[in-house]
Structure 1
Amino acid sequence: MVAAAATAAISFPETAGLDEDTCYWAALLARFDVATTPAPVLLYHHDEARMARRFVQTPRATFLAIALELDKLAGLGIAKDVLQWRKAWIAQRISRQLLKHKQYGAAMRMMRAVRAHKTLGGSWKTLQYRTRIHAGAMVERPGHRLDARRDRERRTLIVSYDPAFPPTSGSDLRNYRNADAAARFGPVCLVSVKPKFAGNAADPLIRLEALSIEGEPRTASVGWWRTRAENRILRSALARLEALAREFRPDTIIVEGVGLFKLLRPLRPLAAQLILDMHNVESDLAAQIRRLSAKRTAAAFGVRFLERKALSLVDRVWVCSNLDRQKLMRLSRHKIPIHVVPNGIPQASDVPTHLPAEPSTGNGFPVIVFIGHLAYPPNVDAAQRLASVIFPRIRHALPDARLVLAGRTPRPAVQALARLPGVELIEDPADVAPLLSSAHLTVVPLTAGGGTRIKILEAMAAGVPVIATPIAAEGLDLVENDEVLLADTDETLAEMAIGLCLDPERRARQRLRAHQAAWARFGLQAIRDAIRDGLGPNGAAA
């Protein structure tokens, strides 16, 4: 507890993006007598991932900003040796992160500040870091036998069913995000079975192609028989894909899910590495959707057989979460690498990373949003229950409440919901950012689903509190009652929404914690690291 007068001339340094709290409290405590209590009065949640990103992206600028602020503390009587130790300690932490990201040259330069301190510079940990940095630098040195493989650009071909550009919903957001991350390692060709939309990708390293042309005559399909889980692929589309692969010469081909199973065998000889990107464990999802019918359970068994066949044809598999990885490991009969490449924050490079202010209540309170593909059966069911069961309960307690349903190709059942009091439907929104910026919360009452829900990450990254069913938040490893509120029943979901709206302090706390979690675990750097690891040793070269 600090008297207001004591802090009048002290503020957090604005130029230092890290350690600013240390500088602030050091300046304060150097001026006044201090009384201490052994009992904790505040729990500080340290965002290690966010700090690591800042270290790796701008290591020198980050260190210099902190060093300048620490130098100012010398005028308050803090010993210079103490300040030098702190600088060396910060430099050592930055070096550790640079070493983890294989930035050996930058890590070596940062270690000079560590060595400048007589105690920390001669420590066993410093010696370990220096040894590892020198070993890594030798591997990267021109002329080393691994250098040719390490420096060669990686060419990646990504095959999806629907066009991934412009990205607007779950599958295309993931596919385009994967292409964007892979483009850091070399050229990428993003190709869809269906005709592509007009326009080119923003990144010149991403080439957009399509295997079908709008209005062309329909040819025979690949294979004489296919399961309900497979997409129909024309023979003409396969011929174009084979020609494109020979012309593009990819090192790695990534195929979107078992729906494109018929392409795996033809693509197998056309690249050194074939990866199956499973947005969902489809057999598990089919069992959830069809669990009430014995006839439909047999269909789920057919999907499971298809998945096992697919796993036998590829070199690696990507899944969205550790939970999906566990499901797939139980399903697979082959020892195949399964990598977690999580769904990330959509278009994260275009989204501000700071927590925005909560929207005003001038256009109703609360404004509740539900965003998703509104032809996808689990989303249709969730939208119907939200609009007809959950929202009326909320509106009874909060009469000014509004519900906004937004998404592509809404089914007639969803379109009919717009006639309910307080409900608005926005079909095929060009941009969901304005919807999120005007929302006070989102309610996601899914009872079935696979992978992880991008709609939840998108809301959290925009500072919108999330209330959801456990299955909706499955695989995201969010902290219940802190980063997200969870309930199984429609009645409890409504009660939680009302309670959160009536408690502004709790709502502000959840907004902050959810926003921090989204950017720390699902931001750009986290996804790029996952893609690098998922591409394997050759793909990690960049």
Structure 2
Amino acid sequence: MSGTEGREAMTKPGILYVTYGFPYPLSSGMRVRNHYLIKAISRRYAVSLLTLAESEAELAHLDALRPYCVSVDAVVATPYSTRQHALGVARCLVRGKPLHTHLLGYPAMRAKVAELAARWDVRLVQIEHSYMAHYLQALPPAYRCRTILEFPDLGSVQYGRMLRLRISPQRKARYLWEWWTARRWEPRYARQFDQCVVVSPEDARVLRQADPTLPITVVDNGVDTERLRPLPDAAGSADLLFIGTMHYAPNLDAVHYFVQHVLPEVQRRVPEARLIVVGKSPPESVRALNNGRDVIVTGEVPAVEPYYAQCAVSVVPLRAGGGTRLKILESMALGRPVVSTTVGCEGLEVRDGEHLLVADEPRTLAAKVVALLQDGDLRCALAARARRLVERRYAWPILGERLMATYDALLAQPVPKM
């Protein structure tokens, strides 16, 4: 940041923006969201970014956000010893708290929160995810600022749905614990903050059902409509595209579900149809599907646009998960028609038959995929309407303005005396 930019930053209200995972490279939905929102709010707010980094490798990317922040800091989430991990898990079990509050709890991170809040005299502190909410306690007792807790998804929704998947007894026990503790603790954490931010009206409804007094703002997920421009229709292609981080259980389930129950129905009418699976960390069960003919599994790729260009239809056959799917918004921005389940497109302002096609049963999903593969006019019409929707409703600058309106309203209120 130049001297001129530094002096300008000092005139802006300061915000300490706390994330899990550095918002670059853009390898997950949370990273994408934080990256673009930070860029948007930096126009009117002086952002001090603090990240709990998942690994040392993330430290190589800190410069990517420096043009938009007055400071960029990271604390690496170093692995616990076996004894430390066992004690942390035991404390969570005894107290009935989510296990993630132990996994994401580091004294160095608490110290850095206190240091940065004092150094930059911030007026707002925004913390990402209820699992990180305990870092609010790192602020000095007499420190006066406004606080925001952001929920990129709700564990009570996410884990509740994941319990319905076909999973091992051990994983089911883990998900049951996370679901139960999230239901108890998400509203409790939310009450400690001045404002909550969620990514969908459905998540807002669930939180309000737990506590109708909670102040909640919906700031949707978005897409970079300037960078992602509509691609030409992939006429003649029978390739279908699924994009997602493959160690995420709902994505893993979606791929297996589609390959086992939907793709064979599609191939009965379009024999040359195949599924292209793009995303980092595919486990062995997904890599085993890669036969070079019906299913192609790429793993992590440097850019997704070439795969969108070759595929005629984007499929989102999710049966679990929470928040909203950036992969749908990305497909729409790039001009690729989408076939999704109801869960897959939940929380988005979309209508079946107007912006995408929606189905929840294998044969109906397959029929809608086939309809798009065989009808170029339908593909183009859906893609055009979806592109207009994301330009009007889901462009990041628009969503940044909504978030800043929340900040402005909070700062207009007097801070209660400690």
Cα 1:447–1:243 change in 2 (3 A) is: same
Cα 1:216–1:493 change in 2 (3 A) is: closer
Q: Following the alignment from structure 2 to structure 1, what is the Cα–Cα distance between the partners of residues 30 and 232? A: 30
1:338 alignment partner in structure 2: 216
Q: Which amino acid aligns with 1:432?
A: V
Larger Rg: 1
Q: Following the alignment from structure 1 to structure 2, what is the Cα–Cα distance between the partners of residues 382 and 167? A: 22
1:358 alignment partner in structure 2: 233
Cα 1:308–1:508 change in 2 (3 A) is: same
**CA displacement, residues 387-430 of structure 1 (integer Å, 9 cap, x when unaligned):** 23322322332233232111122222222221363311122222
Q: Following the alignment from structure 2 to structure 1, what is the Cα–Cα distance between the partners of residues 144 and 297? A: 45
Q: Which moved more, 1:460-469 or 1:404-413?
A: 404-413
Cα 1:513–1:405 change in 2 (3 A) is: same
Q: Which moved more, 1:196-205 or 1:501-510?
A: 196-205
Q: Following the alignment from structure 1 to structure 2, what is the Cα–Cα distance between the partners of residues 248 and 426? A: 44
- Say whether 1:198 aligns with 2:60: yes
Q: Identity rate of aligned residues, in percent?
A: 26
1:425 alignment partner in structure 2: 297
1:175 alignment partner in structure 2: 34
Displacement of 1:229: 4.0
Q: Following the alignment from structure 2 to structure 1, what is the Cα–Cα distance between the partners of residues 295 and 30? A: 27
- Say whether 1:232 aligns with 2:104: yes
Structure 1 contact 359–437 (Cα < 8 Å) conserved: yes
- Say whether 1:162 aligns with 2:21: yes
Cα 1:219–1:314 change in 2 (3 A) is: farther
Structure with the higher fraction of residues in strand conformation: 2
Displacement of 1:504: 1.6
Displacement of 1:274: 1.1
Cα 1:312–1:213 change in 2 (3 A) is: closer
2:130 alignment partner in structure 1: 258
1:317 alignment partner in structure 2: 196
Q: Which amino acid aligns with 2:301?
A: P
Query: How do residues 433-512 of structure 1 correspond to structure 2 at under 5 angstroms?
Result: 433-512=305-384
Displacement of 1:172: 0.9
Displacement of 1:383: 1.0
Cα 1:202–1:240 change in 2 (3 A) is: closer
Q: Following the alignment from structure 1 to structure 2, what is the Cα–Cα distance between the partners of residues 315 and 431? A: 39
Displacement of 1:275: 0.6
Q: Which moved more, 1:471-480 or 1:203-212?
A: 203-212
1:212 alignment partner in structure 2: 76
Q: Following the alignment from structure 2 to structure 1, what is the Cα–Cα distance between the partners of residues 309 and 124? A: 38
Instruction: Determine helix, strand or coil for the equivalent of 1:417.
Output: coil
Instruction: Determine helix, strand or coil for the equivalent of 1:418.
Output: coil
Cα 1:359–1:502 change in 2 (3 A) is: closer
Q: Which amino acid aligns with 2:145?
A: A
Structure 1 contact 268–314 (Cα < 8 Å) conserved: no
Q: Which amino acid aligns with 2:60?
A: A
Structure 2 contact 277–298 (Cα < 8 Å) conserved: yes
Q: Following the alignment from structure 2 to structure 1, what is the Cα–Cα distance between the partners of residues 270 and 220? A: 36
Cα 1:492–1:376 change in 2 (3 A) is: same
Q: Following the alignment from structure 1 to structure 2, what is the Cα–Cα distance between the partners of residues 539 and 179? A: 18
Cα 1:197–1:349 change in 2 (3 A) is: farther
Structure 1 contact 193–233 (Cα < 8 Å) conserved: no
Which stretches in structure 1 are left out of the alignment for 5+ residues?
1-150
Displacement of 1:503: 1.6
Displacement of 1:236: 2.4
Displacement of 1:154: 2.0
Q: Which moved more, 1:236-245 or 1:379-388?
A: 236-245
Displacement of 1:377: 0.5
1:134 alignment partner in structure 2: none
Instruction: Determine helix, strand or coil for the equivalent of 2:380.
Output: helix
Cα 1:525–1:204 change in 2 (3 A) is: closer
**CA displacement, residues 338-394 of structure 1 (integer Å, 9 cap, x when unaligned):** 00100001x444223xx4321353xxx222111111111000000111223322322
Count of paired positions: 384
Q: 2:395 aligns with which of 523, 526, 531?
A: 523
Q: TM-score, normalised by structure 2?
A: 0.84
1:391 alignment partner in structure 2: 263
4+ residue stretches of structure 1 with deviation over 4 A? 213-224, 268-271, 291-299
Instruction: Determine helix, strand or coil for the equivalent of 2:118.
Output: helix
Structure 2 contact 114–140 (Cα < 8 Å) conserved: no
Q: Which amino acid aligns with 1:510?
A: L
Q: Which amino acid aligns with 2:353?
A: N
Structure 2 contact 52–77 (Cα < 8 Å) conserved: no
Q: Which moved more, 1:486-495 or 1:531-540?
A: 531-540
2:145 alignment partner in structure 1: 272
Displacement of 1:214: 6.8
Q: Following the alignment from structure 1 to structure 2, what is the Cα–Cα distance between the partners of residues 468 and 398? A: 19
Cα 1:304–1:267 change in 2 (3 A) is: farther
Instruction: Determine helix, strand or coil for the equivalent of 1:211.
Output: strand
